[in-house]
Structure 1
Amino acid sequence: MKRKQLVSLAMSLILAGTMLAGCGSSQETTNAVTQESATQTEAAETDKAEAPKAEKADDGSKVHITYAQWGNDTETAATQAVADKFNSEQDEIYVEVLKIDHDNYVTKLNAMATAGELPDTGIMSEAGVLDFAENGLLYDISDMYGEGDAKPLESLTFTFKGTPVAYSAANEVLNMWYNIDLLKEVCEKQNLDPAEFTPPASADAAWDWNTFVKIAQTLTLDINGKNALDPAFDPQNVEIYGCNINTLAWQMEVWALSNGGGYFNADGTECTINSKETADAIQAIADLSLKYHCAPEVSDASNSLNTSLGTEKVVMSTDGAWNVGTFLGPDAQFEYGVGVLPYFQNKVTICTGGPNVVFSQTEHPQEAMTWLKWYYQEENSWSLIEAGTWMPILESWYTDQALTDKWINNENFPEHDMYQSAVVDYARDNSQSTAWYYVNGTEEFNSTLTMALSYVWTGDQTAQEALDEYAEELNEIFTEYNE
């Protein structure tokens, strides 16, 4: 299905600003889908209709709860408007939104923690949650959802030593996205059936790695029209690449898991970064460009769909589901589709999403959880879900067909059955938590890993050599944060 040619100017500006807000670390992509997006969206909506005015204070009959967020005055006012909706719907809790500057957010929270003045609730970055939990600053939220409640997907639960301390406010998973127009063009040039080279939309039909590589080589053409399987192929003059893999360190974890490895063991008690399985998976990614010439050279510039598929010189590329709302829907000038990831041993994707937390210094933990449980409801972030920037967190949206249809019957999305199988069902059945859900210190870990992998992408070291060389440093980081 063709994506919408136009979206509102407000949404375009909001999403552009959101992407910029997340820059500056290996987590720039995931930061683009944190709760800040919601406040910005609500701000745009207040331009269309006057938002309810925030009360100066409650009348004293309600329990007073604070919610900390980063954002400017407009964003804070918009979030307060959402909180005021909650305030008006019940007579037990009053929520006040606290604005903290984005750049000083963690520093301010640390100072408030030292003074015993933390807010009741607030937004956190994915990589920051467990650091606060380790210091005893987050509340055990095991009781947020009761028996019979629609609960978030298990993979979206942040845990510290087995205790739930946060849920993501949105769900995002990794997929294979592709340019249908370019796929057809490349196949037509070679008298091939596009159906045989279209990324599968179901895990049951997922390509194994060898099949994926062969297909990517077939779809790679040089300036003379030779594909990368042809002995006469010219790797120095490639016109169209068959594939691109996002090589941000946190996204590379999915390939290690698929090959039976991983950065850490399943319960996060051991760093396994230089296991053979992990090294072999990373080497396979490097070989796509170094050996098989079916992917462009690895660079930071290729780690987003707008700079890979957006060139219209790459047939398929991996990245997160948020791209429907941030690039593919509003900006892509081609028909696009989505498939599941190829696999080594295990058919797996990974999920992420910025969380909200209850701080342990609150005097009203039950009321704080009641507020966040309400805030997590899909209708409170529907504009982002409808745009394709967020996916729902509650399991019911993945199991109740009526809710799924409400979500994905959307002309901004790919074809309904394709998206349901490749994204909705895949997220429900094949998604595992990214490491920062259960391991502390991942920001520093991934930064160091990025340095190690830079030598792999250039071919200066094999993956095993690079990971062995950096294993001690990476283990030290892991141990420092996870003793």
Structure 2
Amino acid sequence: MKKKLLAWFIGVCMVCTCVGCGSGGNTAAAGNTAGSGQTEASQAESSSGEKKKVTFYMWASDAEQEFDKAIVAQYEKENPNINIEENYIPYAEYLSKINTMAAAGSMPDIFNLPEGNVFEWGAKGALLDLKPLYEAAGVNPSDVSVDSAIFSTDENVWSVGYNVTTLCLYYNKELLEENGIAFPGIDASQPWSWDEFVENAKKITKDSSGSGPDDAAFDPDNITVYGTMMPTDWVKFIPLLHTNDSGILNEDGTALGISSDAGIEVIQSIADLGNKIHCAPSNAMAKGAFSDASAMLMNGQVAMVIDGGWALANYTNEGFDVGVAPIPAFKHPADISWTAGLCMSPNAADNKEAFDFYQYFTNFTNSIQAALDQGVSLGGLPHTLEVFDGGENEAKWVSTYTKVDATQMCEAFKNILQADTTVLGDNVRVKNFPVIVDNTIVPALDNVWLGEVSAKEALEVLDLSDSIDGYWK
């Protein structure tokens, strides 16, 4: 079974926290079987009559927090001699709070960490290396989770996430059918080419008189239906770079990759969708009236959008039968995947109960049971390999989406996550990612999206030699 790579920061804001609950215990990760009741840690404590405390910090809020609370309650029900002390900190304050606790030597046993910080904190000794704990438990994380959920080097395991996300092409089935366009397949090794994607977007785009971009009478100022939207967020254009043998950095991490001819081709092609071909809203419109891509796709104003797995619940919660396919490719299939970091403090090295709960929380089969018990759709995608069994576990995952038949959607995401061409996101791998991307590349591209400068003009002048420090792994 193919598996891929790792973590994130943005993803956590966007992806619903999908973590353990239910009667399955720790299953494969903890070495327990379904319905086993108390775990070894709980049974050991019960003889002493003491209740072991595990401190747990997250940034979840609203429905996401309620979901986490339900998982904790279920774990405590199965393990009555363990008390999970929950703390939920607003995201805007979270990293500052954790930094302060680290400086004071009072880190919680288990805590969320933005994906961009995990390797850095691990290298500085601020995180517990989980590799010895997994080895003592007889567990190889790569045998349990997709690689994109594991923050690891050859020597260390710093975190295992509690779900993953990736990018896909969402599409409105009715709009494709109305224009005689066959649905894209779900085989991640055979996506549409970029040219096919653009041609189909042009077929769907119509102005108020019904003319399309190739018609002489077409009026780009009065478009009523767009074929797609420009994927201008870095999280969306990075996987497209990979389909063209590019990325934020070059292959050995010594220079910018996005400034190469291949990178420039991708960026200019994205800008042309709205500024030249007119099969996508302008950048200004995408930040205004068309800012809610999911709503635009559901109401038929847009036919196709490149977006993340976190958006799946937007459609399924509305009972909308959205189509899911691999992203279009320039030269070959590719994608990225990542997850949030869930870490342990070095102070918790001897806290067996903390590691027991950690494994429970990071087993997606428990997340599925929680969703079934609560009747809610999952926001994140499975990272636990046993979910992709083609049988009972996979059927349970599909059944969590109660308002629509999600068989096609789940199968498409399964194929993307298992593809050899789906790699760890640059947002996790690239050192100094915020400095390079958020502070430099993103501002430089603003005028490209507006059509005021070309991608070549914006990217070839960038000099980030002082900021580039290669990859974490």
TM-score of the superposition, structure 2-length normalised?
0.79
3-state SS of paired residue (1:133): helix
Show the 5 A alignment for 1:204-243: 204-243=189-228
**Deviates most, 164-173 or 79-88:** 79-88
1:468 pairs with 2:460: yes
In 2: Cα distance, 1:90 partner to 1:336 partner: 40
Contact 1:120 1:362 in 2 (8 A): yes
Whole-Å Cα distance in 1 between the matches of residues 62 and 213 of structure 2? 54
Cα separation, 2, equivalents of 1:82 and 1:409? 19
- Give 1:110-125 correspondences, 5 Å limit: 110-125=99-114
The whole-number CA distance in structure 1 between the counterparts of 2:345 and 2:359 is: 15
Matched, 1:151 2:144: yes
> Is the partner of 1:426 in helix, strand or coil?
helix
CA distance 1:265–1:206, change in 2 (3 Å): same
- Equivalent of 2:131, from 131, 142, 148? 142
Superposed CA RMSD: 3.6
Map residues 190-209 of structure 1 onto 2, 5 A cutoff.
Answer: 193-195=180-182, 198-209=183-194
SS in structure 1 of the partner of residue 225 of structure 2: strand
After superposition, the C-alpha distances for 1:35-61 in whole angstroms (9 at most, x for unaligned) are 3x769x99xxxxxxxxxxxxxx99774
SS of residue matched to 2:360: helix
Query: Cα gap change, 1:370/1:443 in structure 2, threshold over 3 Å: closer, same or farther?
Result: farther
Higher RCO (CA-CA < 8 Å; seq separation 6+)? 2
Instruction: Name the structure 2 match of 1:247.
Output: 232
Match of 1:167 among 153, 160, 171: 160
Distance 1:427 1:338 in 2: 13
CA distance in 2, matches of 1:222, 1:181: 18
Identical amino acids, percent of aligned pairs:
24
Which of 428, 432, 436 is matched with 1:441 structurally? 432
Tell me what 2:173 maps to: 180
SS of the equivalent of 1:316 reads strand
Distance change in 2, residues 1:127/1:414 (3 Å)? farther
Task: Check the 8 A contact 2:11/2:339 in 1, yes or no.
Answer: no
Match in the other structure for 2:96? 107
- Output the amino acid matched with 2:233: L
**What's the counterpart of residue 317 of structure 1?**
305
Q: Distance in 2 between matches of 1:270 and 1:289?
A: 29
- CA-to-aligned-CA distance 1:381-435 (integer Å, 9 cap, x gap): 2355861412111122224433222211466476555224421112211422212
2:449 is equivalent to residue 457 of structure 1: yes
Single out whichever of 394-403 and 338-347 deviates more from structure 2.
Answer: 394-403
Q: Say whether the 8 Å CA contact 1:158–1:438 is kept in structure 2.
A: no
Distance (Å, rounded) in 2 between the aligned partners of 1:121 and 1:162: 21
Q: Which amino acid aligns with 1:457?
A: W
Q: TM-score, normalised by structure 1?
A: 0.77
Which moves more between the two structures, 392-401 or 106-115?
A: 392-401
Q: Distance in 1 between matches of 2:226 and 2:326?
A: 19
For residue 346 of structure 2, what is the aligned residue in structure 1?
360
Alignment CA distance shift 1:116-1:463 (3 Å): same
1:306 aligned residue:
294
1:272 to partner: Cα distance: 2.7
| Shift in Å, 1:282 | 1.3
Aligned residue pair count:
431
Aligned residue number for residue 379 of structure 2: 389
1:310–1:66 CA distance, 2 compared to 1 (3 A): same
Any idea what the Cα deviations from partners look like across 1:58-85, whole Å, max 9, x if unmatched? 9774654321123579987975664354
Q: Any conservation in 1 of the 2:52–2:83 contact (CA below 8 Å)? A: yes
- 1:350-377 deviations in whole A, cap 9, x for unaligned? 2232221112343426553332111112
Match of 1:46 in 2: none
Q: Per the alignment, in what secondary structure is the counterpart of residue 144 of structure 2?
A: coil
* Distance (whole Å) between structure 2 residues aligned to residue 425 and residue 371 of structure 1: 30
CA–CA distance in structure 2, aligned partners of residues 274 and 413 of structure 1:
44
What does the per-residue CA deviation read over 1:248-291, in whole Å, with 9 as the maximum and x for residues that have no partner?
11221101111000113457565433222222111111111122
AA of the residue aligned to 1:300: K
1:32 matched to 2:19 = no
Unaligned 5+ runs, structure 1: 1-25, 43-56, 188-192
2:276 is matched with which residue: 291, 299, 324? 291
Unaligned runs of 5+ in 2: 1-7, 23-44
Change (3 A) 1:34 1:114: farther
1:147 Cα deviation after fit = 4.4
Q: Does 1:347 align with 2:340?
A: no
1:375 aligns to 2:361 (yes or no): yes
After superposition, give the CA deviation of every residue in 1:154-208 in whole Å (9 maximum; x if it has no partner). Answer: 12222468743122211212111111223334x2xxxxx343xx23322344211
